[in-house]
Amino acid sequence: MSGEKSTVDATAALITKPGNSYDRTPRGMLLAAQFMHRIGLINAEPATWKDLFFEEAHDLAGN
């Protein structure tokens, strides 16, 4: 956390940017976590995206 203060307008512009979509399905999480492991941010490398989420999300088509 940088401690940076974002304005409401800047945050709203970021999350409403065309091309962004939001839903319950995890996307790209395994790739991000594997990268974090590779550069040393996390110790354990997840084998699947399901290692990163509660069991309730395991039926979703995540990656």
Q: In this predicted model, which residue has the larger pLDDT, 24 or 2?
A: 24
pLDDT band for position 2 (50/70/90)? Answer: low
Q: In this predicted model, which residue has the larger pLDDT, 32 or 1?
A: 32
Instruction: Determine the Cα–Cα distance for residues 41 and 43; give it in Å rounded to an integer.
Output: 7
DSSP string, 1-63: ---PPPPHHHHHHHHT-TT----SS--SHHHHHHHHHHTTS-SSPPSSGGGGS-GGGTTS---
pLDDT in tens, 6-52: 899 999 999 999 998 888 888 999 999 999 999 999 999 999 999 99
Instruction: Determine the Cα–Cα distance for residues 52 and 5; give it in Å rounded to an integer.
Output: 28
Decide if 25 contacts 48 (C-beta within 8 A).
no
Question: In terms of pTM, does the model score above 0.75?
Answer: no
Question: How confident is the model at residue 42, as a pLDDT?
Answer: 95
Domain boundaries, the chain: 24-63
